[in-house]
Amino acid sequence: MLPTDVPALWLRDNCTCADCRDPLTGQKLYQITDLPEQLAVGTARPLEGGASANGWEVVWAPDGHVSRYTAQWLERAADPDPRTEDAKDLWGSAASLADGLPETTWSAYLADDAERLRMLEAVARLGFCLLRGVPVRDGQSQQVARTFGFVRETNYGTQFEVRVEERPNNLAFTNVAITPHTDNPYRDPVPTLQLLHCLVNDAEGGDSGLVDGFAAAAALRESDVEAFAALTGTQVPFAFRDDVTELSAHSPLIATDPAGRIREVRFNNRSLGTLRLPAAQTEAFYAGYRAFARLLLDPERQLTFKLGPGDCLVFDNTRLLHARTAFARGGARHLQGCYADLDGLLSTVAVLRRKEAQPC
């Protein structure tokens, strides 16, 4: 028997016949409003040549349309949203990264699909990976981005130079310490991936840090429900300006999906703008902001390491915060970076998995 609790409209909207979907692209050929209002399963019988366990053929009332469904398709579990905490391995501290850093060499990454998949899956699940031995040449962070997706151009260019500038428009381009933050929270949409490629790092200091913002947000939800609610429930303005740019975007510090799962974290003390909200709401926000900052800035939560020439860090800018310690002003330190997006990376993961499932 066809399960009786299957909603008729859902079942019909998943018909794969050539009238409903273009056979070449698999895309739907109708609008939901084209389906009969009084749609119902007219008859359902086991698919030809097998027991009902293999599927059903449904003839619909009132229009007599015929659809076929396999039992395997009907029983498939929900596809989880790859962006929420449920699809992640949270790490609350460096010590909880049991298998060490997700890293490989650039040559292994290029030569071996399985190795490339392992690194990109690490970005999806842990929030980052580290590629070693990426050539110490101009433009390589973009080359890395192009192996799994597309570079996102911004007012900083297709790539940006992280080094001490004469007239910096961002504290990143000085020698001061940069505390844990996500990049460009003043952009809408925010870049979901960031790459940093180290060309030189001879300066005293200039060590890197990463913090799992999802793990910290989950800890806040455990320890201080009110603070968590104030942060998920308050849109805050972020802003950036220089001579030729004036950007602003509104977002909560912790964004959740409709089921309450953590989906995005934005945190940047340098570019938080001015909230203009009723006093009680403002106070609740600031209490939450302080509580969240305490967690995020706790050194125990930070993974620290030093990037050396050829190292390229790829990380999820909607989840991980990154930081660097101050470095001696005269010292040589130069990183190049670019932005890219998670949708492209997740697409590459899916295609590599497809290939892995069907080796040629």
Contact residues: Zn ion, CB under 5 A? 15, 17, 19-20, 183
| 124, 346 Cβ separation under 8 angstroms | yes
| 197, 337 Cβ separation under 8 angstroms | yes
- Spatial separation of the C-alpha atoms in residues 289 and 252, rounded to whole Å: 11
Site track for ligand OGA across 246-285, x = CB under 6 A: ----------------------------------------
Which does residue 335 bind out of Zn ion, ligand OGA, none, counting CB within 5 to 8 angstroms by kind? Answer: ligand OGA
Based on the shown chain and the rule CB under 6 A, indicate whether residue 208 belongs to the binding site for ligand OGA.
Answer: yes
- Spatial separation of the C-alpha atoms in residues 165 and 177, rounded to whole Å: 15
Name the minimum Å distance from CB 337 to ligand OGA. 5
Decide whether 118 or 163 has the Cβ nearer to ligand OGA: 163
Residue owning tokens 């890197």: 208
Which does residue 175 bind out of ligand OGA, Zn ion, none, counting CB within 5 to 8 angstroms by kind? Answer: none
Q: Which two tokens stand for residue 35?
A: 């389906």
Residue 139 amino acid letter? G
Decide whether 210 or 352 has the Cβ nearer to Zn ion: 210
Closest residue to ligand OGA, based on beta-carbon distance: 324
Q: Which two tokens stand for residue 350?
A: 């899916």
User: Which residues 6+ apart lie within 8 Å of 247 measured at CB?
Assistant: 155, 186, 187, 239, 240, 241
Q: Which two tokens stand for residue 95?
A: 């010590």
Decide whether 185 or 337 has the Cβ nearer to ligand OGA: 337
Site track for ligand OGA across 159-188, x = CB under 6 A: ---x---------x-----x----x-----
Decide whether 8 or 171 has the Cβ nearer to ligand OGA: 171
Name the minimum Å distance from CB 287 to Zn ion. 26
Among 337, 338, 341, 345, binds ligand OGA (CB under 6 A): 337
Among 126, 322, 336, 345, binds ligand OGA (CB under 6 A): 322
Task: Tell me: cis bond preceding 3? Omega within 30 of 0 counts.
Answer: no
User: Which residues 6+ apart lie within 8 Å of 189 measured at CB?
Assistant: none
Decide whether 15 or 126 has the Cβ nearer to Zn ion: 15
| Residues 333-354: b if buried by 16+ CB within 10 A, e if exposed | bbbbbbbbbbebbbebbeebee
Among 190, 312, 335, 345, binds ligand OGA (CB under 6 A): 335
Q: Provide the sign of the torsion angle of the four alpha carbons 83, 124, 120, 266, taken in this order.
A: positive
How many helices (DSSP H) and strands (DSSP E) are in the chain? Answer: 9, 18
Among 44, 126, 324, 340, binds ligand OGA (CB under 6 A): 324
Which does residue 226 bind out of Zn ion, ligand OGA, none, counting CB within 5 to 8 angstroms by kind? Answer: none
Alpha helices in 48-165 (DSSP H): 71-74, 106-111, 113-125, 140-146
| 319, 213 Cβ separation under 8 angstroms | yes
Name the minimum Å distance from CB 184 to Zn ion. 8
Based on the shown chain and the rule CB under 6 A, indicate whether residue 316 belongs to the binding site for ligand OGA.
Answer: no
Name the minimum Å distance from CB 112 to ligand OGA. 28
| Binding residues for ligand OGA (CB under 6 A) | 162, 172, 178, 183, 208, 322, 324, 335, 337
